[in-house]
Amino acid sequence: MAAPAPSALPLKAVVFDAYGTLFDVHSVASLAEQLWPGRGDALSQAWRAKQLEYSWLRAMSGRYKPFWDITRDALRHSTARLGLPLDPARETRLMNQYSSLSAFPENLDALRALRAAGLPLGILTNGNRDMIDVSVRSAGMDGLFDHVLSSQQVETFKTLPAIYELAPAAFGCRARQILFVSSNAWDAIAARWFGYTSFWINRAGAPPEQLDTEPDHVGALLGDVVAVATRRA
Amino acid sequence: MAAPAPSALPLKAVVFDAYGTLFDVHSVASLAEQLWPGRGDALSQAWRAKQLEYSWLRAMSGRYKPFWDITRDALRHSTARLGLPLDPARETRLMNQYSSLSAFPENLDALRALRAAGLPLGILTNGNRDMIDVSVRSAGMDGLFDHVLSSQQVETFKTLPAIYELAPAAFGCRARQILFVSSNAWDAIAARWFGYTSFWINRAGAPPEQLDTEPDHVGALLGDVVAVATRRA
């Protein structure tokens, strides 16, 4: 008898990206707007873009450095480029904001519904493990995740295969049997390239990326993951 | 007798990035401004950022696609994100602009001075070979370059080592003996990470990148390369 087609494999786990997916980075923009009225959005966008750029350049060139430090480097460059004076007090406030992100309010119910359906859960993040642990605890998500997987374990960043390999190894199944959930379209697409079943949380109604591959599923909220995951469990 | 320190090795060649370094991409922004008054800068910045992002994601995930096609993909995404209607005629005009970039006026004299000093010259570019050949010819740079090296030869993009390996292989010397010149700070830094002696052409007076490494040399014009290169030849 032939093996079932990969798309028909039952899901064995649901794995989440952290920043922007489980945890809301909007509070960073709010503080930036307080510090530099009228420039908060520009800074938070430039900061995020530079943070990702540095992670990609370091991944490609084999120059790993923890994400927390990259985040600070990106803040310093972005403020300099935008001509915003960054003194140590402002830097500390902005970085602290990043270390205590709150979860999207709907997320806890969605995660509990997935657990109730018997699905093991995990996090796969570029972020430092200790940063994620703090956010998980403060969001009341203790005990919900079987595995919290961080770039620190492999010293590289998404989208290199080495970091995507962590979840199939941890859950002991094929990538296709894991639903990988990210609010970053590029992450959801690269995860599918790697082999995952992927879900893009498109909270902002962004246009699709032009990368010749779509995420397997798209929704606007983490709650939308529950229907897909429990149907496939 | 001990071998000379790497920094004291005489230069054997000077190798240039193409877009923004030899060829001016400003004409693209001008046309974008004509097509969507008040939005030309926003589009050209978003387009360029997305073009690089797609090249990095594809390099990391082993999903090579020629740079010309990536450039079109990035244009389509960027216009959609900015809400700018892109019909086929506008797309063709913008892409054609990219295929016939003009050189910075000062460049031809600088390249000739380097040749006169006996230094072999090359181009190392993410771009398609045929796009570069057209721009080289229309800039009157025929015959100045010993090697035009393109991402197409290795089917990946900067900053993966495979593309930076092309120039030492072509010129038959160590990377440290090649002066690699780029107007993209990230490219000049990653080239130094790889092993080149690197020169950042900082035309716009941008703040330095926060990557724990500086290019070996910084100047504002291609002419500034001549003094460094001839001193080290």
Please state the length of chain A.
Answer: 233
Domain boundaries, chain A: 10-23+102-232, 26-99
First to last CA, chain B: 22
Flag if B61 and A159 touch (Cβ within 8 Å): yes
Cβ-based contacts of A57 with chain B (< 8 Å)? 56, 159, 186, 189-190, 211
pLDDT of B68 over the 80 cut = yes
Residue B144: CA count within 13 A, CB half-sphere: 25
User: What DSSP character marks residue B226?
Assistant: H
CB atoms within 10 A of CB B213: 16
B217-219 and B197-201 beta bridge pairing? parallel
Residue scoring higher pLDDT (A27 or A75): A75
The closest CB to that of B207, out of A63, A77, A160, belongs to A77
The predicted structure's pLDDT at residue A199? 98
Q: Best mutation site among A55, A58, A61 for testing chain B: the one with the most B CBs within 10 Å?
A: A61
Catalytic residue, candidates A17, A187, A216, A224? A17
d(CA B113, CA B122): 14
* Residue B160 pLDDT grade (very low, low, confident, very high; cuts 50, 70, 90): very high
**Which tokens belong to B202?**
């900082």
Establish whether B17 is a catalytic residue: yes
pLDDT of B176 over the 80 cut = yes
The predicted structure's pLDDT at residue B7? 54
Residue ranges of the alpha helices (H) in B105-165?
A: 107-116, 129-138, 161-164
Q: Over the stretch B183-208, which tens digit does the pLDDT of each residue have?
A: 999 999 999 999 999 999 999 999 99
B217-219 and A197-201 beta bridge pairing? unpaired
d(CA B233, CA B177): 9
A219 three-class SS: strand
Q: Does A74 touch chain B (CB under 8 A)?
A: yes
Q: Does B193 touch chain A (CB under 8 A)?
A: yes
d(CA B139, CA B68): 20
B102-103 and B23-24 beta bridge pairing? antiparallel
Distance from CA of A170 to the nearest CA of B (A): 21
A23-24 and A102-103 beta bridge pairing? antiparallel
**Which tokens belong to A44?**
């938070």
* Residue B8 pLDDT grade (very low, low, confident, very high; cuts 50, 70, 90): low
Q: What is the ipTM of this complex?
A: 0.95
This prediction's pTM: 0.95
CATH number for region A10-23+102-232:
3.40.50.1000
> At residue B216, what are phi and psi to the nearest 5 degrees?
-65, -35
d(CA B195, CA A3): 49
The predicted structure's pLDDT at residue A117? 95
Using an 8 Å Cβ cutoff, are A24 and A132 in contact? no
Mean pLDDT over each residue of chain A, to the nearest integer: 94
- A126: nearest Cα among A100, A151, A160, A159: A151
At the topology level, CATH places domain A26-99 in: DNA polymerase; domain 1 (1.10.150)
Same-fold call for B10-23+102-232 versus B26-99: no
Q: Over the stretch B71-113, which tens digit does the pLDDT of each residue have?
A: 999 999 999 999 999 999 999 999 998 888 889 999 999 999 9
Q: Does A43 touch chain B (CB under 8 A)?
A: no
pLDDT of A3 over the 50 cut = no
